[in-house]
Amino acid sequence: MRKATAGMAKHRLLLPPLLLLAAVASAAGADPMLDLQRSAWFYGRDYFVLRSGRAQMIVQADRADLGPALSYLLFDAENASQSARKDLAFNFLPNEGFASSGLRVELGGHAFEALGQHTQTRWTTEDGIPAVEATWWAGGVRVTEHIAALCGADAFRRSIRLAGAHLSGEEAVKLRLALPPGQGQRQGNILLESGRGACLALAVLGAGPVEVAASRGQIEIGPLALGPKAEVSVETLLATQIPAGDPQALAARVNELLKTKCAREIAASRRQWAASSAVQTDDRVIAGIFDKARFGLPGMIADNGTMDAGIFEYGNQWVRDTSNTALGAIHAGHFEIARAALLRVLTKMVSQEGVTMIAGNFEKPDLEQFDQMGELLHVLKAYRDWTRDDSLVREHRELLLALIERPLRPQFRDQTGMVHNRREFWERTFTDAYELAYQTYLILGLRDAADLAAALGAEDRAARWRAEADRTLQAVLSHPTCSLVHDGRLIKRRKVTGEVADYPDGLRAFWSDAPMAVERHHRLMPDATMALPIALGLVDPRSDLARRTLDDLEGLWNTRWSDGGYDRYHTSSQPDQPGPWTFATTFILRAQHDAGLLDRSRRSLEWLDTMAGGRSGAWLEEIPAVRSQAKATGILPWTSAEVALFVVRHYLGVRFDGEQLVLRPALYPGSPAVKADLRFRGSRLQIVIDAAGPIREARVDGERISLTSQGTVRLPQGFQGGRVVMHASGR
C-alpha cells in the first residue's frame, strides 16, 4: 500500500518542529543539518527536475540556511529504484550529503554560498531552453545562476553571471565548483570523478583562468575583475557517464563539447523545446502553471520510458502512474517521451494474461487494480488521436486484447455488470465491493478500445465493448440494489451485499499519531475519486448528480488544516498520513471546471500553483498534517501531468469525441485573451480566444465554421492542424 508522504504547504510546520527533528537526529549521533538535507520535505523547499539523456538532475532550492540554498542530486533516469532516497544519488556522500554541488563565490578571501532566505529561484528560459534560475548575493556581488539540461547529451550547462551591483570599486572574484571527492583526476582543464556507478566531469566553456584541483575535487575559476555596475559571465559544463565506464571516454566527449561550446547540443535542445506545446496569456496563473508542468515532465520520464512514480518515496512503477503521466506529456507536446513510457508499459508492465503492474509486481486476482486497463487504453487512444500513430496498438494487439477482456471475466464481474474485489483505488484492502473508480475506468477503457478496434483488428468486438460499457454505466447510476449513487450523489464504494461501504472495515493504522489510531470513529467518504466520472464525462457535469457530488466533496477541503487543498478521502480513515493531496485535488479541479463551478476551480488551481512543490512544478504527493511522516514525501509526476491535462482539455477545451476534434473553451470570468500553440500530429494546432464567455464565432484558417447549439467548435473530419480563432460573446 502506498504510504501517504508529501511536502508541507507554506505556513504549517514551522521552526519548532524542525528544531525538534534536528535535536532528535543529534541525539541519535547524526549531523542534524545533514539529516534535514536528506529529508525529502523541509519548510520552503522546492525541487526542479531536469534530465539530459540518462542523467536525471533534481535541483533543490531551500529557503532556510542548511548549507548552499541551491544544490542538486544526480540519478540514473533508467533506474526507478535509485531515486527512492536522496542518499542513493551518485553525488551523495554519507558524511557530507550533496553540498558539494553548490557554487562558492570568493570575495576578499571569504567564500560565499547562496543563503536560503535571500535566494530567489524560478523556472526561466535561456536560448529557448528551460533553465532553473537562482539569484543570490555574495557580498556586494549579485550572482545569477542558470542550470539547463542539454537534450540527449548527458550534460548540463550552468551559466553564472556576476554583477557588481553594490561594489564601491573594482574587486577580484573567484568561483569554485566541486564534485564529490572520489577517484578524481585532471585531464587538462577537465575535472573527472569516478565512482558509485557514474563518472562525472566538470569543465569551463571558454577561455579564462582555471585551476583544477583533482585531490580536492574542485575547479577554481578566476580571479575575475569586477567593478561597480559591471558584469562578468562564465559558462560551465557538468557531463555524466552512466554507468561509469572508462573516464577517458568521458573526457574525450567533454573535449569535443568544449571545442564547439556545445553549439550543436544547444541548437538541438532549442529545437526540441520549440516543438513542445505552449500557452500564452496575461493570466499568470494559467501561463505559469502550464509552463512549470511542461518544463518538468521530460525530466521525470527516461528515454526508455522508465519513471519513478514517487521520487524520494517509492522508487517503483505502476501502470496507472505511468499511463496518466504519459497522458499529460501528450497534452504538453512531449510525444516522444509519452511513446517511450507507453512502450515500456506494454513490454514490461502488463503480463500476457492482461494483469497490470502494481509497485513493480503483479498482484493476485482479488487485489488487482481494475482502473489500470482503462487508464492505459485511454492514453493509447489519446496518443493515436494527437499523433496519428497507432503502431503501439497494432504491434501489441494480443496483449491489449487480453488486457481489455480480463476485467470482463466472471471471476471479477457479476450479474450487475460491475467489477468487484477487495482492493480499493487508494490500495487499501477491504471486504469485497464495487469501487466507483474501477467502474469509471472500465467504462472509459471499453469505449476507447471500441474506438481503437480497427487498429486492434477487433472490429467484431467493438459493439460488444460499447454495450458492456453502457451496461456498467447503467448499473453504476441505477442498479436497484447496488448502484453507486446514494442520497442523490455518487459514492465511492458499495459492498456486493448492497450495503454502502462508508467505514474502513478493520483497517489498522500504520503510525501511532494517524487518525485511524487515535480516533474511535472513521468514515471513508467523501472520496476524491467520486469526481472522476464527472471529470471524464461519464456523468453530465451540469447535472444535479454532479453538483451534489461536488458539494459533498467540499468536505475534503481544509479538513484539518487551514491553507487549502483536498484530502484524498475522509481524513478520519487515514491509516498513515492526513493532509491535502495534490493529484486528488486535480481530480476535483477538473470536475469543478466542467461543472461550471469556476470559483472553486480557481481556488483549487491557485492552491496548486502556490503550495509546496507548486512553485517549481515538482508537486509533492500530499502535504502531511501530522509529525510522524513530516520528513517523508515524494515528487509525483502524475500531478504535473494532471496540471498539463487540465489546461489543455478543460480550460482550453480541446478534446476528442470519437475521432473528431472538438473545442469548447472554459476561460475564467474576466480572463484576458489566450493563445495556444499546441503540437498536433505532424503540424500545429494554434488557438486564439479573445475573451471569456460562450463562443459566438469561430474561424478555421480564416474560414468561418458553424457552432453547435452549446457553442462547441467541431473541426472537420481529417483535420491535421491549423489556426482556430474564437470570439466570445463578451467581445
* Domain end call among 231, 253, 273: 273
- 8 A C-beta contact, residue 655 and residue 666: no
Measured between alpha carbons, how far is 554 from 547 in angstroms, rounded to an integer?
11
* Residue indicated by cell numbers 498536433: 680
Q: How far is CA 658 from the centre of its chain?
A: 27
pLDDT at position 85 is 94
DSSP β-bridge partners for residue 149: 156
Query: In the chain, what are the helix, strand and coil shares in percent, each to the nearest 5?
Result: 35, 25, 40
Nearest by Cα to 643 from 283, 384, 383, 331: 331
Question: What's the CA dihedral at 420, 421, 422, 423 to 10 degrees?
Answer: -90
User: 259-280: b or e for each residue (b if 16 or more CB lie within 10 Å)?
Assistant: eeebeebbebbbebbeebbbbe
Q: How far is CA 491 from the centre of its chain?
A: 28
β-strands 231-241, 278-281: how paired?
unpaired
pLDDT at position 3 is 46
Name residues whose C-beta falls within 8 Å of residue 706's C-beta, 6 or more positions apart in sequence.
none
Measured between alpha carbons, how far is 170 from 183 in angstroms, rounded to an integer?
38
Nearest by Cα to 61 from 563, 613, 632, 609: 613
**Residue 94 region by backbone torsions, left for phi larger than 0, else alpha for psi between -120 and 50, else beta:** alpha
Specify if 472 maps to a domain: no
pLDDT at position 29 is 53
Pull the grid cell for residue 624.
502531511
For the chain, residues with pLDDT lower than 70 are 1-30, 629-631, 730-731
- 8 A C-beta contact, residue 283 and residue 232: no
- 8 A C-beta contact, residue 228 and residue 164: yes
DSSP β-bridge partners for residue 581: 622
User: 62-77: b or e for each residue (b if 16 or more CB lie within 10 Å)?
Assistant: bbbebbbbbbbbbbbb
Name residues whose C-beta falls within 8 Å of residue 32's C-beta, 6 or more positions apart in sequence.
21, 22, 23, 25, 26
φ/ψ of residue 213, rounded to 5? -115, 90
Q: Write the CATH number for 677.
A: 2.60.420.10
Pull the grid cell for residue 284.
499568470
Structural domain containing residue 684? 656-728
Measured between alpha carbons, how far is 540 from 209 in angstroms, rounded to an integer?
67
Specify if 364 maps to a domain: no
Specify if 68 maps to a domain: yes
Name residues whose C-beta falls within 8 Å of residue 114's C-beta, 6 or more positions apart in sequence.
68, 69, 70, 102, 103, 134, 136, 143
List Cα–Cα distances, 70 to 145, 200, 425, 709, in angstroms: 9, 19, 37, 54
User: Half-sphere exposure of residue 184, counting CA atoms within 13 Å on the CB side?
Assistant: 18
Q: Write the CATH number for 129.
A: 2.60.40.1170
- 8 A C-beta contact, residue 154 and residue 52: yes
* Domain end call among 242, 273, 304: 273
List Cα–Cα distances, 346 to 343, 396, 403, 456, in angstroms: 5, 7, 10, 14
Name residues whose C-beta falls within 8 Å of residue 90's C-beta, 6 or more positions apart in sequence.
74, 75, 76, 196, 197, 198, 200, 240, 242
List Cα–Cα distances, 221 to 175, 189, 203, in angstroms: 5, 11, 10
Split into its structural domains, the chain has a count of: 2
- 8 A C-beta contact, residue 483 and residue 489: no
The letter for the amino acid at 174 is: K
* Domain end call among 273, 307, 324: 273
Pull the grid cell for residue 463.
459493439
Element (H, E) at 447: helix 436-451
Measured between alpha carbons, how far is 188 from 44 in angstroms, rounded to an integer?
40
